Chains A and B, each alone.
Chain A
Amino acid sequence: MSDNCIYVSVSEDGGNYFIIVDDVKYKCSYSESAILSNMLTNKGRFYSKEELALIGWPNKLVSKNSVPVAIVNIRKIFKSHTKLEIIANEKNKGYTALTDKVKFVEANFSVKPIENVHQQELINHEPEKRLSSDKEIEPAHAPNYKYKLAKLKRIALIGLGYPLLIANVSILFFLIFSEKATLKQPVVDVVNNKKHIAVYNSYNRDFALLINSAIDKDITTLKISELKKTIDRAMFNDKSIVFINTLSSGVTVDCLQKKELFSFSGDNLEAIIENLKLKGCKI
């Protein structure tokens, strides 16, 4: 065995079946060993699922998934030895063993050859019976615990999956909407006259009215984000920009005038107005 070929044999030992690849022994089911030995004996021949089912599970009715599962298991065994695709599946043709690099050595037990299978198929072919086979799925040679485990896994996935999905969606929507609720854009009242723009909120309207003679119809409400455009235009027209805030101890007034900033605060409103006017703030 010194050439580059992979040598494969199948064997049976005390009711256990094995696929032996280059002297490495892999435990498998009868059906897997039978399917492999049949395919390797007739390389290049295409096998339908039904044919492989009859080879792997002679005289038994199995589910439609049994053959693909057996093929997957055989592929898994070869995966650790070679990157070559040993078994190919072609649409409308079926499964076939492709490569010449795999050489089948022997089977130490009797595997039904494909001809016998066809004879058996002719005898056993009863469509009604096959239909009912889907109901009585028989896991051929598969230990029961595998099915129990799969069932448990499915229950666990559903049991955890849906609550997790609900939790994910709920948290996501909560975050999105709570964020939107908290990020309400603040609004301010703006009086825009020939000399200045006064910006204030409803809490300090009294003082704002003190420094200008605006009547309610001249007051516009703007979001803070919309304010910049109005202020830029006013600065361009050489107007004063006056920000008016009410504090517990009086007011705070910031006046932007000719690229200068004047800030006054306190409860002495007359003095504040006087000083703003002295500084050139157009109020």
Chain B
Amino acid sequence: MNRLRFFNAIFFIALILFALSENLKNDIDFDGYFTRTETILSQGQNAIELTANADFLSNDQKYTSVVKIADVEKGMQYITFILDGDIYKKGNTLIARTNTIEEIEDVDRSVIFDASTSPVVTQIQKSFLGIDVYKERMYERILIEDFLCYYDLDKHLVRCMEQR
């Protein structure tokens, strides 16, 4: 009987400790401003520039990102999104979750109309405003000198950002 109690207690404690350790949210090992400028070159379309400026607050396990979409050839800015979310580490995996996403309003209306004619921009807009954006994302990060590269474990993509 005592052995049964002992083993029950041991396994119960092990279960609790394991569950706690698995759900422990650790701070990320990078901090500060990071930027990425991606030029989208599509057949029969103007080149579109997508600039992301992210501020990672390691201690608060938060991030803020400003994403600008602009037409390189016309020199016009189409849309700006501001994203706020949580970012932390679980084991070696980086977890990011967007809490709020906001499209900035003070953009010239005619420009928005102009943007909507571009299928690339519409696609980006859709991806930013879709419900998928609030889903938890998991990454493996690779820190190389001043670059933060992250491997998306769902989409199997590697992207990089540069520290400023």
Contacts and interface: CB of A to CB of B under 8 A. Distances in A.
**A and B are interacting partners:** yes
B43 A199 contact: no
B18 A254 contact: no
Interface string A220-250: 0000110110011001000001010101011
Interface in A99-125: none
Interface in A239-269: 241, 243, 245, 247, 249-250, 252, 254, 256, 259-261, 263-268
A210 interface: no
Interface in B10-43: 11-12, 14-15, 18-19, 22, 36-43
A199 B158 contact: yes
B99 interface: no
Interface stretch (A2-10, A44-52, A83-91, A153-161): A153-161
A186 B160 contact: no
A175 interface: yes
A169 B159 contact: no
A263 B159 contact: yes
B131 interface: no
B7 interface: yes
Contact of B5 (A161, A203, A243, A263): A161
B92 interface: yes
Contacts of B142: 224, 227-228, 231
Contacts of B143: 228
Given A175-B18, A265-B40, A266-B41, A161 B4 contact: yes
Contacts of A175: 15, 18-19, 22
Contact of A201 (B7, B146, B149, B156): B156
B106 to A, nearest CB: 27
A266 B50 CA distance: 12
B123 interface: yes
By size class, the interface of chain B is: 35 or more
Contacts of A265: 38-41
B4 A183 contact: no
Contacts of B159: 243, 245, 252, 254, 263
Contacts of B8: 161, 164-165, 168
Nearest to A271: B41
Contact of B157 (A169, A228, A245): A245
A264 B145 contact: no
Nearest to B12: A168
A275 interface: yes
Nearest to A243: B158
Interface in A1-45: none
Contacts of A158: 1, 4
A254 B160 contact: yes
29 contacts: A154-B1, A157-B1, A157-B4, A161-B4, A165-B11, A168-B15, A171-B15, A172-B11, A186-B156, A225-B92, A225-B140, A227-B142, A228-B142, A228-B143, A232-B144, A235-B144, A243-B158, A245-B158, A245-B159, A254-B160, A263-B37, A263-B160, A265-B38, A265-B41, A266-B40, A266-B42, A266-B43, A266-B120, A267-B43
Interface of A: 154, 157-158, 161-162, 164-165, 168-169, 171-172, 175-176, 179, 183, 185-186, 188, 199, 201, 203, 224-225, 227-228, 231-232, 235, 241, 243, 245, 247, 249-250, 252, 254, 256, 259-261, 263-268, 271-272, 275
Given A231-B142, A245-B156, A249-B120, 13 more contacts: A165-B7, A165-B11, A175-B18, A186-B156, A203-B156, A224-B142, A225-B140, A254-B149, A254-B160, A260-B162, A263-B39, A266-B41, A266-B45
